[in-house]
Amino acid sequence: MLSSKIISVGDEILIGQIVNTNAQFISEKLYSIGIPVKKINTIGDNEDALLTELDDSVRNYDVTVITGGLGPTHDDITKPILIKYFEDELVNDEKVLRHVKSIFVNRNIKMPDVNYGQAMVPKKSKVIWNGMGTAPGIWIEKNNKIIIALPGVPFEMKAMIKDSVLPMLIDKFTDKLDYVIKSRTVLTTGIGESSLSELIGDVKLLIGEDKMAFLPTLYGVRLRIDVKRSSLEEVEERLNVIENSLRKKIEKYIFGTDDDLLEQKTGELLLFNKLTLSVAESCTGGLLSSKITDISGSSEYFKGGICTYSNESKIALLSVERKTIDNYGAVSEETALEMAENVRKKFGSDIGLSTTGIAGPSGGNMAKPVGLVWIGYSDGKKTYAKKFLFGNNRERTKIRSAYQALAILKKEISNLLNN
């Protein structure tokens, strides 16, 4: 069986300034084509450490992927050390240079001289195209072992892995890759892990010898399905069978698969059904509006939002009755109801959403603890609010509140269409 290794380069990883998400992504992708990762090492910007790792790679692993250290500054050490280790020299790649120059031209910025060096690549290497940034990837072979160096910027690295590295590896090892592993993630929201498990029932009856993992997140539970077969066609067929079986059990909680976003899928529902939305926010502080408008084209269905953090702004901007706040408080079912209904009327939208809560860590009491959130919904035919307890972490409460509001929105749009 083929084996692989990942080397993450950068002092910033070792001292905890950034989280090494690159290794997880690369490991998953290599595993999916039958080249599982057997070792992951993180090293600093240190020449001796990288040389030692390269020795280990050439002796013991078929494929090594290095991330980081390909930038234009003095602390980017990967390319010069590869030159030293492989006894190579740098040559100018005109195609890369044109691409690097075009990036600065498009941004209307004068290109610093230091960036010319990014078009210099090892003579013995293949260039891995980086359409998202200025640092090309490097592919070098020695003793039938492959060393791949990629930028550490996640969105650049991910595109290069999917668009170039995986196809190149599959082509290289066609005769040695005797199976295909592929994952599909079914995305759910509006239901907890244990309740979801009860609805699904005996997982073994559903998936047989394949694998499925429950992965809770702030917006819901991800169900990752892993299937291993001798061909891609068999894998895809089996994944479809399992997904369809899941949908029969939990369809109303599923909003998408793999890289789908809840805000994207709810937006598609609004757009397709020619519905408009407005939101009134308190505890989420504009986060709900931000999530909605992260999606390109959201202006077609999102009419606007009002962030009313104080009691006075709720009264002045949303026409919440003062007596409602005096009698029930800003964090209450009654206030959430008025916020949702009034924002819908003010913007003339089909649907209004509201959020009001105690994000913490202070401000709670026995009757209204930290993490208490009311989410309101109004569509002209019905208006209601639901109570949630999201815990005492301020950031998580804001995120969960925003996604729960979107989950309610998705559910209610489905109900409108079915009635």
- 75 pLDDT more than 80: no
Give me the CATH topology for the region 263-418.
Answer: Maf protein (3.90.950)
Give the list of residues 6+ apart from residue 230 with CB closer than 8 angstroms, or none.
178, 179, 180
The answer to whether 281 and 357 are in contact (CB under 8 A) is: no
Confidence class for position 419, pLDDT limits 50, 70, 90: low
| Fold (CATH) for 4-172 | Molybdenum Cofactor Biosythetic Enzyme; Chain A (3.40.980)
Q: Taking residues 110-139, what's their average pLDDT? A: 92
Q: Is the pLDDT of residue 39 over 80?
A: yes
Closest CA to 396 of 376, 377, 373: 373
> Mean pLDDT score of the chain, rounded to an integer?
93
Concatenating the DSSP letter of every residue in 318-359 gives H---HHHHHHH-SSSHHHHHHHHHHHHHHHT-SEEEEEEE--
pLDDT in tens, 364-404: 898 999 999 999 999 989 999 999 999 899 999 999 999 99
pLDDT of residue 292: 98
Q: What is the pLDDT of residue 56?
A: 96
pLDDT for res 187: 96
Could you tell me the two tokens for 413?
């749009």
Q: Is the pLDDT assigned to residue 294 strictly greater than 80? A: yes
Per residue in 299-311, pLDDT (tens digit) is: 999 999 999 999 9
pLDDT number for residue 231: 83
Give the whole-number percent of the chain exceeding pLDDT 70.
99
Q: Which amino acid, 57?
A: S
pLDDT of residue 72: 83
Q: Which pLDDT tens digit goes with each residue over 168-210?
A: 998 998 888 777 788 899 999 988 899 999 999 999 999 999 9
For residue 416, is pLDDT > 80? no
Checking if the pLDDT of 333 tops 80, the result is yes
Cite the residue boundaries of each domain of the chain with CATH code 3.40.980.10: 4-172
Report residue 120 CA to chain centroid gap: 33
Domain at 180-257, CATH class: alpha beta
Residue spans in the chain of domains classed CATH 3.30.70.2860: 180-257
Q: Where in the chain is the domain with CATH 3.90.950.20?
A: 263-418
